[in-house]
Amino acid sequence: MKTDAHWEKVGMRPHHGICLPLFSLKMEQDSGSGEFLDLIPVIAWCRKAGFDCLQLLPLNDTGGDPSPYNPISSCALDPVYLSLPHSGPPLPRRALKAKKLRLLRDEFPRAFPALSREPAYTSFLEKSPWLSEYCRYMAMKEPGAGEDFYRYVQYLAFSQLSEVKKAAEAHGIQLVGDLPLCLSPDSADVVSNPGLFRKDLVAGAPPDKYNALGQKWGFPLYDWDAMRKDRFRWWKRRLSALSPFYHLYRIDHVVGFFRIWAIEEGKKPSEGHFIPSDPAVWANHGQALLEMMIESSPLLPIAEDLGTIPPEVYPILKALGIPGTKILRWEMDTPLDSYEPLSLTTVSTADMEPLPLWWREYPEEAAAFAASRGWEYEPSLSGERQIDILSDAHHTSSLFHINLLQEYLFPFPELSRQSIEEERINIPGTLLPGNWAYRFRPSFEEIAAHEKLLAAIRKIIS
């Protein structure tokens, strides 16, 4: 396998963990979003529960967009997650970010002169070749703050998330990052490197059974020929920026490296076409890009290979040693001990209905799933049955078993909402105010103190 050295660091053995959207985390002193340093008590709780992995959604700066998959920088961290001393009621994301930046602007003249002389700050500048482009872009977008201010903000974010990684290593927890496939057309990267992107086309998805009209995401495409001529400098820089914070990373929409649905300006999603246009080259095209990524980073990648995937993708991922993703409800005909070991098993993703909502909204699928387990189907999914399903997800022959944190909370009514629709994170292909705004009902302190939850999790993964 191409990833042998990466696996040596991770350990080719079963791993168990949770996936946590940081913006969903709520502490007793709630600002309106989870913050970097809030992850430290989460890590301690993961160790106590018996987990050894903590997966996060992307933490890139997304400007004013709540979607973590529409970043304005491939490397910069979002200041909304900075842990800062401040008071007041919880705020919506935009208002919270604006408040934190105001606090930082007030502090900047006092704090920066001394900080700028510290060796750690100098080292951060030297190891962050993306920083100048990002700070120049931000100073252009927000006149008056100046490029040094954004260097200061990113250094604070870098320092806090680095502290989180140290805590994870102290507790034996491996952090899993997330690499969005695409970038906002109005991003520091696209503005600063126009020759590396094709802005005559935007990415999307062809029509399928879930979206009859197809999808138009609006992201510019990568100009792979230009990137190849540049020896993938931009990609190597992007991957290098992940290393200080994570031990593994998820490749979002990995099929996009093999072929991607391209739509011309003014055209409908259904009028798009694949690039490359020749299916005969997809395998070599994708394999070469993934090999470049493996060679450019010490982190083990995990592929999100869901949806309509050309069959040649799977053997290439296996040959490269890259785990794919298995959704338990979509694998009901696969015995638990027959899953491809190089895979991650989960019951849902941030783009899917959580387990109880799926059970209610798709009764035929739920009944078939129950039958595949030898259970009597009941229209309402009981807490006991949810725990059984989670246990199955942790006992496949996959090497990774990671579920969204809220899936473990649902069996306990006091830890989740009565309206299960409010527990969904995102509905793909829609622009709804609730997308990417999900918050846990309980504070994390309440979650951590819930002994029945802790006992259930230990039982699930034992």
Half-sphere exposure of 376 (CA within 13 A, CB side): 0
Q: Percent of the chain having pLDDT more than 90?
A: 94
Burial 318-338 (b: 16+ CB within 10 A, else e): bebbbbbbbbbbebeeeebee
Q: If we measure between CA atoms, which residue out of 236, 192, 235, 198 comes closest to residue 219?
A: 198
Residues 339-354 have pLDDT tens digits of: 999 999 999 999 999 9
For the cut 80, the answer to whether the pLDDT of residue 209 exceeds it is no
pLDDT for res 204 = 92
For the cut 80, the answer to whether the pLDDT of residue 210 exceeds it is no
- Find tokens 């994570």 and name the residue: 246
For the cut 80, the answer to whether the pLDDT of residue 50 exceeds it is yes
Residues 292-330 have pLDDT tens digits of: 999 999 999 999 999 889 999 999 999 999 999 999 999
Q: What's this model's pTM, rounded to 2 decimal places?
A: 0.97
pLDDT for res 369 = 97
pLDDT for res 199 = 85
DSSP 8-state class, residue 113: H
Structure tokens given for 111: 């704090």
* Cβ neighbours around 170 below 10 Å, total: 12
pLDDT for res 162 = 98
Helix (H) or strand (E) run with residue 461 in it: helix 451-461
Residues 97-137 have pLDDT tens digits of: 999 999 999 999 999 999 999 999 999 999 999 999 999 99
Answer whether 13's CB lies under 8 Å from 342's CB: no
In the chain, what are the domain boundaries? Answer: 4-461
Alpha helices in 11-144 (DSSP H): 39-49, 93-115, 119-126, 131-141
For the cut 90, the answer to whether the pLDDT of residue 177 exceeds it is yes
pLDDT for res 398 = 98
What value does the mean pLDDT take over residues 133-161? 95
pLDDT for res 207 = 87
Mean pLDDT of the chain: 96
For the cut 90, the answer to whether the pLDDT of residue 74 exceeds it is yes
Q: Percent of the chain having pLDDT more than 70?
A: 100
pLDDT for res 211 = 79
Residues 231-258 have pLDDT tens digits of: 999 999 999 999 999 999 999 999 999 9
pLDDT for res 271 = 95
Q: In degrees rounded to 5, what are phi and psi of residue 346?
A: -150, 160
Q: CATH code for 4-461?
A: 3.20.20.80
Residues 407-452 have pLDDT tens digits of: 999 999 999 999 999 999 999 878 899 999 999 999 999 999 999 9
- Residues in a beta bridge with 302: 250
- Find tokens 């509905």 and name the residue: 427
d(CA 53, CA 155): 26
- Rounded-to-10 torsion of CA 191, 197, 198, 202: -80
d(CA 29, CA 443): 9
- Rounded-to-10 torsion of CA 138, 143, 144, 150: 0
What is the C-alpha radius of gyration for the chain, rounded to an integer number of angstroms? 22
